[in-house]
Amino acid sequence: MRSLKARRVLASFPGFGLVAFRRNNNTDTTSTPFSFSFRRQSNSPTTSKQKKLYDLEVYISRSRSPYFNLSYEDYLFTRFPAYTSYSASSTQLSKKVLFLYTNYRSVIIGRNQNPWRETNVQSLRRHNVPLIRRKSGGGTVFHDEGNVNYSVMMPGNSFDRDEHALLLCTALNSVFKQRAEETVLSVNERHDIVDQNARKVSGSAYKLQRGKAYHHGTMLLNSRLETLSKLLHHSVDSGLEVVEGPGVQSVRSPVSNIGISNELFINTAIAAFKSEYMTGSDNAFKARYVDEDSITKEEEQEVNKSIDELQSWEWTFGSTPKFVHRFLLRDSTPAVSFTVKEGTILDLESNLPEFTEYKDSIIGSPYRGADVASRIDSELWKQRLIGAI
């Protein structure tokens, strides 16, 4: 059996099949209405005789709304069956879902991240870019119509952080070779897809629940990277703010586009999944297109509940883990610090009369710029806090 490192290296060369280098302990099976089967190849004489069947469902969103797409993704995962065991002799098929979507310009933070540390909140508001906290972990990403997001749902005991990223690398590298392009993709130790210059073109996040899991990522195709830099330029980078707390911090990486169209990426991804998880004799495949107008009444009800949550201040900002937000003067002298938990100010420390006189009224208020500004008299600090918070 080849090492994980060997699998990553070989995936970067067109013509090398991913299945030849996959771990042999993924013995789970999957089920869906679309009945597609495949046999994974293995060096093990025992597992090579076992036919693992997957029913593959593919969904493609026509919507560009990040609220709809993230909510529909959550709906699909909620309805995904929880597989608690696997028997090689079982006739039950297990399911694998591929969901592809593109969002209009937006910034998406991970479930356990701090928006004041990860983004430039003031810039987001100025450019009218929505900030959304997703249900999965991982770091902060920028979405626009120059990238395509992919989400893969699977049984929990067949979860592999690299499997689908490696599959996409192999498929895309074949495209680049056919087009006589120099781009070569691989998966690094952080499970990101990177090009031959180690620039990240796709980051990943994961969610695991009992008996099921999903992996989703965003593929940079022709994204506006200069906008990405401005919106993900953290507010604290100015040196006038410090955010301290336990929330997950994003790892900054150089990024790049791979320069193919959305349509080509979507077609390549679907073809790769069909080839990997279906038999050649299976002709029942079809993809379902979804948007706000085409989903069922049941889907609409559940999706709208999720959209309401994603759009709420309580979810986006109010569910941030406890942290301390310090503001400094131009000479780096501490001015004021707020201790915040679940969107509420627990404590305030300052030697400035602009804040000490109003401390009692500030503590217990929501940590929103307008709320804090309404409790002080200083116009200078009102404007600064409204912009930063």
CB 116 within 8 A of CB 189: no
230 and 101 assigned to the same domain: yes
Number of domains the chain is built from: 2
336 and 376 assigned to the same domain: yes
Q: Which residue has the tokens 């990405």?
A: 228
70 and 165 assigned to the same domain: yes
Domain that holds residue 333: 323-388
For residue 267, is it within any domain?
A: yes
SS3 91: coil
> Residue 358's domain is classified under what CATH number?
3.30.390.50
Query: Mean of the pLDDT values across residues 327-331?
Result: 90
The pLDDT assigned to 137 comes to 85
For residue 308, is it within any domain?
A: yes
Give the model's confidence band at 240: pLDDT under 50 very low, under 70 low, under 90 confident, else very high: confident
Q: 120 phi and psi, to 5 degrees?
A: -95, 90
Q: Which of 264, 281, 312 is the last residue of a domain?
A: 312
- Between 212-216, 275-279, 348-352, the lowest mean confidence (pLDDT) is in 275-279
301 and 358 assigned to the same domain: no
For residue 113, is it within any domain?
A: yes
273 and 188 assigned to the same domain: yes
> Higher-confidence residue: 139 or 100?
100
d(CA 369, CA 388): 7
Neighbours of 357 (CB within 10 A): 11
Give the model's confidence band at 331: pLDDT under 50 very low, under 70 low, under 90 confident, else very high: confident
Neighbours of 159 (CB within 10 A): 17
Q: What is the DSSP code (8-state) at residue 248?
A: P
For residue 3, is it within any domain?
A: no
Which pairing describes strands 323-328 and 186-187: parallel, antiparallel, or unpaired?
unpaired
The pLDDT assigned to 232 comes to 76
The pLDDT assigned to 10 comes to 43
The pLDDT assigned to 234 comes to 62
Query: Mean of the pLDDT values across residues 207-216?
Result: 91
Q: Which of 312, 332, 362 is the last residue of a domain?
A: 312
The pLDDT assigned to 15 comes to 38
97 and 162 assigned to the same domain: yes
> Residue 187's domain is classified under what CATH number?
3.30.930.10
133 and 281 assigned to the same domain: yes
Which pairing describes strands 106-109 and 186-187: parallel, antiparallel, or unpaired?
unpaired
For residue 50, is it within any domain?
A: no
For residue 155, is it within any domain?
A: yes
- Between 138-142, 232-236, 325-329, the lowest mean confidence (pLDDT) is in 232-236
d(CA 251, CA 241): 19
Strands (E), 62-175: 94-101, 106-109, 131-133, 141-143, 147-155
- Between 114-123, 140-149, 305-314, the lowest mean confidence (pLDDT) is in 114-123
Q: Which residues contact 219 (CB under 8 A, 6 or more apart)?
A: 147, 148, 149, 150, 168, 193, 201, 202, 258, 265
Residue among 103, 382, 86 at smallest CA distance from 218 = 103
307 and 329 assigned to the same domain: no
Give the model's confidence band at 12: pLDDT under 50 very low, under 70 low, under 90 confident, else very high: very low
CB 165 within 8 A of CB 141: no
Give the model's confidence band at 57: pLDDT under 50 very low, under 70 low, under 90 confident, else very high: very high
For residue 258, is it within any domain?
A: yes
The pLDDT assigned to 167 comes to 95
Query: Mean of the pLDDT values across residues 204-228?
Result: 91
CB 367 within 8 A of CB 344: yes
343 and 215 assigned to the same domain: no
169 and 96 assigned to the same domain: yes
Element (H, E) at 218: strand 212-220
CB 212 within 8 A of CB 77: yes
334 and 205 assigned to the same domain: no
CB 197 within 8 A of CB 12: no
306 and 327 assigned to the same domain: no
Residue among 343, 333, 386 at smallest CA distance from 364 = 343
Q: What is the DSSP code (8-state) at residue 261?
A: -
Q: Which of 288, 312, 336 is the last residue of a domain?
A: 312
CB 217 within 8 A of CB 194: no
For residue 33, is it within any domain?
A: no
**Phi-psi category of residue 232: left, alpha or beta, with phi > 0 → left and psi -120 to 50 → alpha:** alpha
- Between 44-53, 208-217, 281-290, 374-383, the lowest mean confidence (pLDDT) is in 44-53
* DSSP, residue by residue, 310-336: HT-HHHHTTTPPSEEEEEE-TTS-EEE
